[in-house]
Amino acid sequence: MRIGILNSGGDCPGLNAVIHGVVGAADQLGWEVIGFKDGFEGLLPPGDYKVLKPKDTIGIVKLGGTILGTTNKGNFAAKIGKGNVSEVPAEIVAKAKRTLDQLEIRALIIVGGDGSLTTGLQLYREGWPIIGVPKTIDNDLQATAMTFGFDSAVSTVVDALDRLHTTAESHKRVMVLEVMGRHAGWIALWGGIAGGANVILLPEIAFSTDKVAEVIRQRDAQGYHSTLVVVAEGAKLPDGEIVTLNENTGGEVRLGGIGEIVAHRIEKLTGKETRACTLGHLQRGGAPTALDRILGTRFGVMAIKLAEEGRFGRMVSYQAYHVDSVPIEDAVNQLRVVEPDGEMVGAARAIGISLGD
Ligand code: F6P
């Protein structure tokens, strides 16, 4: 039997671990694995792929990125808006199907996030033998307690906060670290708690920079002259707060991301020297942590088990120390965001972290 695998969407530490798991487990069954390059694009005729044998995966578990390449653009990119999902056009699906048929692919494993799995669901409903593997560093997919890549991203945030801590203390400054998380603040919340942040600003909790400034003043009064603020890239200033980075224009000038804006506001309100740092794609690159290597490998192995059992239209899922599966439709089109009244936000508050509200 021959099966296919592709990575789709943004890259993420641990993708190679999934490939490693898939190829290893498939080889045990005597199956051949075809790795399609650059996401779904590799399916388009004449087909851009390579046969993956166990020898091709030696040592890849420790590598960041993906040996197959990936893309979040192209012919298959599902346009996900609020309640607004565009389908892949029928002629593109038909072309890709020809490649699948010619290669006699009996199962196609899609390693992707919400958009890619939504495409996977469309293809499954059109009769393709699809198996999904959840991937997102943001950890915001429904129906899985965790995705690989998240732990690596959080580790990068913690490392950055450890470094910012010493320079903040030396200069008695406020340091604002902007981290990834467009819709959900999991990276900010986990990274902020583990990295000793004093303030964490999330997309899910309305905050004001006046409140943040108040926290910083109080800390100063208590003798803590430096403050670490973590802000998720998707966090929004309340409507009432005008952002004027260029005082001469008098209008709103959005030169930077939310981190720069918050830093600018804090400096203005408190008079304390404040610096912003945007972590960006450093969170996506580099070697996966041990947890992500293991999770990715187990996800790959489970994907092969689903293929062996002929259970298509399902997504591998991590549930309380156990890797299992759920219907893909349970996972897509409704992101898992931080619960403002949840236990984890409560834990942050309990140790004196401000959410800026
Ligand atoms: O969804 C993952 C993510 O890393 C987000 O946290 C971030 O906003 C986005 O992808 C960045 O995408 P790109 O690599 O296309 O700039």
Reply yes or no on whether the pLDDT at 254 is more than 60: no
C-alpha of residue 10 to centroid of ligand 1, in Å: 6
Reported as a single tens digit per residue, the pLDDT across 112-166 is 999 999 999 999 999 999 999 999 999 999 999 999 999 999 999 999 999 999 9
| 3-state class (DSSP) for residue 74 | coil
How confident is the prediction for the chain on average, in pLDDT? 93
Closest ligand 1 atom number to CA of residue 181: 6
Cα dihedral angle (109, 113, 118, 121), rounded to 10 degrees?
A: 30
CB 173 within 8 A of CB 275: yes
pLDDT digit string, tens, across residues 336-352: 999 999 999 999 999 99
Q: Whose CA is nearest to atom 13 of ligand 1?
A: 10
Q: Beta strand 130-134 with 2-7: parallel, antiparallel or unpaired? A: unpaired
Q: How far is the CA of 309 from the centre of ligand 1 (A)?
A: 34
User: What local confidence, expressed as pLDDT, does residue 85 receive?
Assistant: 58
Mutate to test the pocket of ligand 1, among 116, 139, 140, 182 (most ligand atoms within 8 A of CB): 182
Residue 77 pLDDT grade (very low, low, confident, very high; cuts 50, 70, 90) = confident
pLDDT > 90: percent of the chain: 88
pLDDT in the model for residue 243: 58
Strands 130-134 and 105-112: parallel
Entry pTM:
0.94
Tell me the per-residue pLDDT of 224-237, one tens digit each, with 9 for 90 and over. Answer: 999 999 999 999 98
Binding residues for substrate: 136-138, 173, 180-182, 233, 275, 281-284
The binding site comprises 10, 73-74, 113-116, 136-138, 173, 180-182, 233, 275, 281-284
Number of CB atoms found within 10 A of residue 104's CB: 10
User: Which of ligand 1's atoms lies nearest the C-alpha of 283?
Assistant: 4
The pLDDT of residue 227: 98
Ligand 1 atom nearest the C-alpha of 180 is: 6
**Where does 80-233 show beta strands of DSSP type E?**
80-81, 84-85, 105-112, 130-134, 174-179, 199-201, 227-232
Mean pLDDT calculated for residue range 68-88: 73
* 171 CA distance to ligand 1 middle (Å): 32
State how beta strands 227-232 and 84-85 pair.
Answer: unpaired
Range in 79-88, 267-276, 277-286 the model is least confident about? 79-88
Angle (nearest 5°) at CA 250 between 249 and 255: 60
**What are the b/e assignments for 251-279, b being 16+ CB within 10 Å?**
eeeeebebbbbbbbbbbebbebebbbbbb
Instruction: Name every protein residue with a CB atom under 6 angstroms from any ligand 1 atom.
Output: 10, 72, 136-138, 180-182, 233, 284
Pocket test for ligand 1, best of 138, 278, 335 (most atoms within 8 A of CB): 138
Judged against a pLDDT cut of 60, whether residue 75 lies above it is answered with yes
Cα-to-centroid distance, 181 and ligand 1 (Å): 8
Protein residue whose Cα sits closest to atom 15 of ligand 1? 10
ipTM of the complex: 0.95
Task: Report the alpha-carbon distance of residue 20 to residue 62 in Å, rounded.
Answer: 10
pLDDT of the residue at 87: 87
Atom 12, ligand 1: which residue's CA is nearest? Answer: 10
Structure tokens given for 344:
């984890």
Could you list the active site residues?
A: 138
